[in-house]
Chains A and B, each alone.
Chain A
């Protein structure tokens, strides 16, 4: 399923005495350009008692200003307030000294398009022109580790991070999808609310994206003495939060400082500082790192220092009077406690509700019995009430599009369809049913069905239909059903690496449903798990997908380049195209399906995410399509065939049973050279191209959604027959 489209961004800037950078920051927001002109933006400045001109500056720049008393400010609390006071699909937080660089807003929008489950996008902090080399180097080194290291630009490309990855997140520069924020929200913490959010969102199944283009100019730079005092505060805080105690080890500290100064000098050379500047900054670097070691060690032991000394050393001017309650290991490292059993940090519940509670409930309660057989018989004729349980969706989701296309035809056949959104993870928690219903009608097809969220209003059905593994346990427990069925569009365990989710997804095929499978491959899969099945075919919008009136180019391949979907094997496709281009450099390459450029070793024309109409024009213009699938076949090849475009696909997965061995689709093994061979033949052998093109067009005729819906209807009646005879 592809990503939701961002249509509006609310930018929230908490401010207190921020006049120094605020004009520059607000002007930089105003100057941001987004390729989709429909994306709107609004700016909210939350002022917590500024005594400078911050409020006037914000108002003059056209920002909405919300003034709160200083005592009410809290890093988490105030950002929650900002999110509540705005309405954008995305809420972007900036600190008052973080100036967005060119491309910041576009990168945020692009970041959310990388995958359906992206809940947050963050970017790097770049040094300002007057930032010291020490800080500039540290920033660069820090963020270099966040991106995709294979990216060619040396600083890392965009990277999706999921549970088990880095959970670092900073509200200096981070944007959140509204439903993700609503599901997780910021804890009311004195600091590090962003870090807590990062950990909680990944644990809840959301992904976040580091996008190098979403950069801000931001660096904390101070004169040497202030730096030293800031490190005193920072290490005092580190001891309080994670128990870190900076060791008092002069020889080791000396070695560390020497290494850091050498790294700074290398950086100075790289950025081209002249000899005089290098000498000057080397001295500063020595002072900087030495004072960091010394003041860090003192900050770790601040509680042991007299209050007057603490006040002098602290940039905040604050005092602590007792040692924090340290974990035993940290205490031992500090030399203030005895070694013993390790005591962990107390962690409060990070989720309001347990994760995958439906699965636990099903494990406890089991499947709810079906209604007794109807005296009218198994339901071989007449309209049915089909209650369709649907996982959360986003605009452009291919799986949901196919599902809703089928449901629309079932409605037209006279069946009564109702939609039940099963949103246990809260991905659509910000939307109420009427809005979800309108989204279905606006983004997909004009269904008449009502939409229910959750099952509080459940009133039974002839057939309850699960449509994704996440919905299967809920459907198994719904009462008042004559039969249950399971629409299977893909082998979903393969969406996950081996783990709890993949296993749960596998288990759903053994819950006793009758399966409605989208291909022979899927039928074979569910049979392996012991389930019964009927088959249906995916339709083609033949009114949209036909050969358009445009000259067919003779040396152009169009590939599906959505590399955020691993089962589409985009790295293999890139490899095959590279092989082809070495043989036929004149070949033109088009790529579609991703909202951002993919990294290829060759030039290509990036078409982005296309509308149905644009797809049809593209398929009518290109010579050969390259669409790979490592699980169930994609509907894209059949749309290409309908436009007369021969396709190259992977052999031995699922396509042969659908398209035939020798029709419009040419199959190749999982081998870049073999794929390149097939592409080359179709480009060079006109007779072969003509034959495949004609075969594809002929195959596509009659593949309508009406046919698919009739097959679904037959499958539902088969489910009723099985329940009746059980």
Chain B
């Protein structure tokens, strides 16, 4: 019976595979850090003012209010579009 240690080429292959996985892990951690840093840059003002959008949207009436705003926005857009058409 043989094992990997008896076969230099198989050891080399395994080593190369481990090295490849190590490389992937390093790239993954680099990408993770970059994504987290980018999102923290965007989240700053929400965190600065302690605004938790999940908590706000979980409140009763929050979703209907958002829908109402969307509809209102749709109406305004439609009105602007109509105005542009009428103005030629």
Where the two chains meet, the residues of A that have a C-beta atom closer than 8 Å to any C-beta of B are: 374-376, 383, 385, 416-418, 431-435, 437-438, 448-452, 459-462
A385 touching B37 in the complex, CB below 8 Å, given contacts A434-B47, A438-B44? no
- B40's partner among A416, A451, A461 (CB-CB below 8 A) is A451
Sample of 26 A–B contacts (CB below 8 Å): A374-B22, A375-B18, A383-B26, A383-B30, A385-B29, A385-B33, A416-B29, A416-B33, A418-B33, A433-B40, A433-B47, A434-B39, A434-B41, A434-B43, A435-B44, A435-B48, A437-B40, A437-B44, A438-B44, A450-B33, A450-B34, A450-B36, A450-B37, A450-B40, A459-B29, A462-B26
Q: Flag if A437 contacts B37 (CB, 8 Å).
A: yes
- B26's partner among A385, A435, A448 (CB-CB below 8 A) is A385
| CA of A462 to CA of B29, assembled, Å | 10
Additional A-B contact list (14), CB under 8 Å, known A434-B40, A438-B48:
A375-B15, A375-B18, A385-B30, A416-B30, A434-B43, A434-B47, A434-B48, A435-B48, A437-B40, A450-B33, A450-B36, A450-B40, A452-B36, A462-B26
B63 at the interface (CB under 8 A from A): no
Residue of A nearest to B30 (CB): A416
Q: A480 CB to closest chain B CB, in angstroms?
A: 10
- Over the window 33-67 of chain B, the binary record of Cβ atoms lying under 8 Å from chain A Cβ atoms (1 yes, 0 no) is 11011011101101110000000000000000000
| CA of A460 to CA of B43, assembled, Å | 24
Chain B hits for A459, CB < 8 A: 29, 32
- Summarize B's interface: helix, strand, loop or mixed: helix
Chain A hits for B4, CB < 8 A: none
Q: Which 6 A-B pairs have the closest CB atoms?
A: A450-B36, A450-B37, A434-B40, A434-B43, A432-B47, A434-B47
Chain A hits for B39, CB < 8 A: 434
A434 touching B44 in the complex, CB below 8 Å, given contacts A374-B22, A376-B19? yes
Residue of B nearest to A451 (CB): B40
Residue of A nearest to B43 (CB): A434
Q: Flag if A375 contacts B19 (CB, 8 Å).
A: yes
Q: Flag if A448 contacts B37 (CB, 8 Å).
A: yes
Chain B hits for A383, CB < 8 A: 26, 30
Q: B10 CB to closest chain A CB, in angstroms?
A: 14
Residue of A nearest to B25 (CB): A460
| CA of A431 to CA of B15, assembled, Å | 44
Chain B hits for A433, CB < 8 A: 40, 47
A376 touching B33 in the complex, CB below 8 Å, given contacts A432-B47, A437-B40? no
Q: A89 CB to closest chain B CB, in angstroms?
A: 12
Residue of A nearest to B19 (CB): A376
Chain A hits for B19, CB < 8 A: 375-376
Residue of B nearest to A415 (CB): B30
Where the two chains meet, the residues of B that have a C-beta atom closer than 8 Å to any C-beta of A are: 15, 18-19, 22, 26, 29-30, 32-34, 36-37, 39-41, 43-44, 46-48
- Summarize A's interface: helix, strand, loop or mixed: mixed
| CA of A451 to CA of B47, assembled, Å | 13
Q: Flag if A376 contacts B22 (CB, 8 Å).
A: yes
Q: B17 CB to closest chain A CB, in angstroms?
A: 9
Chain A hits for B36, CB < 8 A: 450, 452
Q: A465 CB to closest chain B CB, in angstroms?
A: 15
Residue of A nearest to B16 (CB): A375
A460 touching B18 in the complex, CB below 8 Å, given contacts A435-B48, A437-B40? no
Q: B3 CB to closest chain A CB, in angstroms?
A: 17
Chain A hits for B44, CB < 8 A: 434-435, 437-438
Q: By CB atoms of chain B within 10 A, which of A449, A450, A460, A462 has the most?
A: A450
Residue of A nearest to B11 (CB): A375
| CA of A376 to CA of B15, assembled, Å | 8
| CA of A705 to CA of B41, assembled, Å | 26
| CA of A280 to CA of B87, assembled, Å | 91
Q: A443 CB to closest chain B CB, in angstroms?
A: 14
Q: Flag if A435 contacts B47 (CB, 8 Å).
A: yes
Chain A hits for B29, CB < 8 A: 385, 416, 459-461
Q: B42 CB to closest chain A CB, in angstroms?
A: 8
| CA of A449 to CA of B29, assembled, Å | 12
Q: A457 CB to closest chain B CB, in angstroms?
A: 8
Chain A hits for B18, CB < 8 A: 375
Q: B72 CB to closest chain A CB, in angstroms?
A: 30
| CA of A438 to CA of B45, assembled, Å | 10
Q: A207 CB to closest chain B CB, in angstroms?
A: 26
Chain B hits for A375, CB < 8 A: 15, 18-19, 22
| CA of A450 to CA of B40, assembled, Å | 7
Residue of B nearest to A437 (CB): B40
Chain B hits for A435, CB < 8 A: 44, 47-48
Residue of A nearest to B45 (CB): A434
Q: A272 CB to closest chain B CB, in angstroms?
A: 54
Residue of A nearest to B35 (CB): A450
Residue of A nearest to B38 (CB): A450
| CA of A437 to CA of B38, assembled, Å | 11
Q: B86 CB to closest chain A CB, in angstroms?
A: 46
Q: B78 CB to closest chain A CB, in angstroms?
A: 37
Q: A337 CB to closest chain B CB, in angstroms?
A: 52
| CA of A461 to CA of B40, assembled, Å | 20
Chain A hits for B43, CB < 8 A: 434
| CA of A449 to CA of B30, assembled, Å | 10
| CA of A444 to CA of B6, assembled, Å | 56
| CA of A42 to CA of B43, assembled, Å | 26
A449 touching B47 in the complex, CB below 8 Å, given contacts A385-B26, A434-B40? no
| CA of A246 to CA of B43, assembled, Å | 60
Residue of A nearest to B49 (CB): A87
| CA of A4 to CA of B33, assembled, Å | 27
| CA of A460 to CA of B25, assembled, Å | 10
| CA of A461 to CA of B32, assembled, Å | 12
| CA of A434 to CA of B44, assembled, Å | 5
Residue of A nearest to B18 (CB): A375
| CA of A448 to CA of B33, assembled, Å | 9
Q: Flag if A449 contacts B15 (CB, 8 Å).
A: no
| CA of A375 to CA of B29, assembled, Å | 19
Q: By CB atoms of chain A within 10 A, which of B36, B41, B46 has the most?
A: B36
| CA of A435 to CA of B30, assembled, Å | 21
| CA of A376 to CA of B47, assembled, Å | 41
Q: A462 CB to closest chain B CB, in angstroms?
A: 8
| CA of A376 to CA of B29, assembled, Å | 18
Q: A447 CB to closest chain B CB, in angstroms?
A: 9
| CA of A437 to CA of B48, assembled, Å | 11
| CA of A448 to CA of B34, assembled, Å | 8
| CA of A438 to CA of B48, assembled, Å | 10
| CA of A318 to CA of B52, assembled, Å | 46
Q: A403 CB to closest chain B CB, in angstroms?
A: 18
| CA of A437 to CA of B18, assembled, Å | 34
Q: B31 CB to closest chain A CB, in angstroms?
A: 10
Chain A hits for B33, CB < 8 A: 385, 416-418, 449-450
Q: Flag if B26 contacts A449 (CB, 8 Å).
A: no
Q: A96 CB to closest chain B CB, in angstroms?
A: 28
Residue of A nearest to B36 (CB): A450
